Structure 1
Amino acid sequence: MDEQEWDERYAARESLWSGQPNGALVSEARDLVPGRVLDVGCGEGADALWLAARGWDVTALDVSGVALERAARQADVQRLKVAWVHSGLVEAQLTDASFDLVSAQYPVLLRTGDHAAEHALMRAVSPGGLLLVVHHAEPAGGWQGHDADDYVLPADIAAVLDEDWRIEVNETRPRNVANGAGAHHTEDVVLRARRLR
């Protein structure tokens, strides 16, 4: 999906997602010491706002201007500071090795032969920092007309991590979301990797 398609999808509903931070992010980040975090594909901003409220210095990016406007309004209401970036991940002008945590919750990243998205995620993490990628476990028959082979999944990222990385978590977990798009998914794959140098 491109920017226009995402804008149309968001514009068709008052809110697309649940408005709550993703459970895997909460589980993995609640005990971390706040630092600089990149929220990839931030959507309407629930994860970014949860992180900002806990003292993180948040940069949040998304291709949808409609989603970012909603997120920024919520940040104003909650009096939280977030740097909103209107961009895709690969195209974003990010400083290498500048984030203590890079969080990609259900990212829609196209798979390419040069692994551009995977390397963009990895480059953003500072030495000692964490990369957290969460995606839906693929149900039988794929994802409502989308071919999972077109998109980067946690397994793709795990496959390109080298000796500069240590995988700390790579597992499938139950997912319990009552409302919002994606509520029908019942399992997630969680990948957490630490950059050693």
Structure 2
Amino acid sequence: MTDVTTNDEFWDSFYAEREQVWSGRPNDAMVRETADLTPGRALDLGCGEGGDAIHLARRGWTVTAVDISQAALDRAAAHAAAEGVADRIEWQRHDLAVTFPEGEYDLVSVQFLHSPVEIPREGILRRAAQAVAPGGVLLVEGHGGFPSWEDEHDHHPDVHFPSPDEVVAELRLAEGEWEVLVSTEHERTQNAPDGRPTVRMDSTVKARRRK
């Protein structure tokens, strides 16, 4: 992935390198934190190849799934059709630094919004909070650091992994309008490129907008 300068170029190149990048399974934290929610309208920001959106659709949610990469969206749509939930998911291409899907949602899920290419992450998260309907939930999952198998020289020095407290502060949730339900770090098992299971630290922030 060389000579790419924009976010959409980076991610289209990223997905073009392999026929399938991710496992196809939904993110563990998203599954865990949405298990007790009543299905309604969900917004999946940075949906990738669609694992989370497909899981939510199976559970009865109507999903708007967004990504910057058309290659990822096309792949996700094919997976959804194969799983028989295509009618419950609308796929939209957005560079969230520029455009944002319309409407209000009972669940807004932002899973691992990290990029080697600079993005206005704080602004995107605040816009995500604005899209939560009264009584709805905002779920933000992020990495706590680089994976253990990456050499130090591979790290992107400008990438910062905020703590849960930093995420809550970045959201600037209006006092009295929100209840922070979860703000924590946790370990997650992830396979290294050579197949070895390793432990990685992630963070979860879950907040409900009061009715």
In the superposition, the TM-score normalised over structure 1's length comes to 0.86
Highest relative contact order (Cα 8 Å, sep 6+), 1 or 2? 1
Q: Distance in 1 between matches of 2:167 and 2:58?
A: 29
Matched to 1:44, the amino acid is E
Are 1:174 and 1:187, in contact at CA under 8 Å, matched by a contact in 2?
yes
Aligned position for 2:187: 174
Q: In 2, Cα distance between the equivalents of 1:37 and 1:179?
A: 31
- Segments of structure 2 that go 5 or more residues without pairing to the other structure are 1-5
Q: For residue 145 of structure 2, what is the aligned residue in structure 1?
A: 138
From 188, 191, 196, give the equivalent of 2:205.
191
The alpha carbon displacement at 1:167 in A equals 0.7
Distance in 2 (alpha carbons) for counterparts of 1:77 and 1:63:
22
1:89: which partner in 2? Answer: 96
The offset of 1:152, in angstroms, is 7.0
Residues 1:123 and 2:130 are matched in the alignment:
yes
Asked if the contact 1:134–1:154 (Cα under 8 Å) also holds between the matched residues in 2, the reply is: no
Residues 105 and 133 in structure 1, CA contact (< 8 A), matched pair in contact too: yes
Q: Which has the larger radius of gyration?
A: 2
Determine which of 12, 37, 41 is the counterpart of 1:7. Answer: 12
Question: 2-side partners of 1:165 and 1:134: how far apart?
Answer: 18
Q: Size of the alignment, in residue pairs?
A: 191
Distance 1:142 1:166, change over 3 A: farther
- SS, match of residue 175 in structure 1: strand
Alignment-mate amino acid for residue 129 of structure 2: M
CA shift at 1:144, angstroms? 2.5
Query: How large is the Cα RMSD of the aligned pairs?
Result: 2.5
Whether 1:21 and 2:32 are equivalent positions in the alignment is: no
Q: Which moved more, 1:53-62 or 1:79-88?
A: 79-88
TM-score, reference length from structure 2? 0.81
Instruction: Please report how far the alpha carbon of residue 184 of structure 1 lies from its aligned counterpart in structure 2 after TM superposition.
Output: 5.8
Change (3 A) 1:116 1:177: same
Deviation at 1:4, TM superposition (A): 1.0
- Partner secondary structure for residue 92 of structure 1: coil
Check the 8 A contact 1:167/1:192 in 2, yes or no: yes
Distance 2:52 2:192 in 1: 16
Closer, same or farther in 2 for the Cα pair 1:26/1:142, shift >3 Å?
farther
CA distance in structure 2 between the partners assigned to 1:145 and 1:126 by the alignment: 36
2:107 touches 2:139 (CA, 8 Å); kept in 1? yes
1:137/1:188 contact within 8 Å kept: yes
Alpha-carbon distance in 2 for matches of 1:176, 1:65: 29
Letter in 2 for 1:186: R
Q: Gaps (5+ residues) in structure 1?
A: none
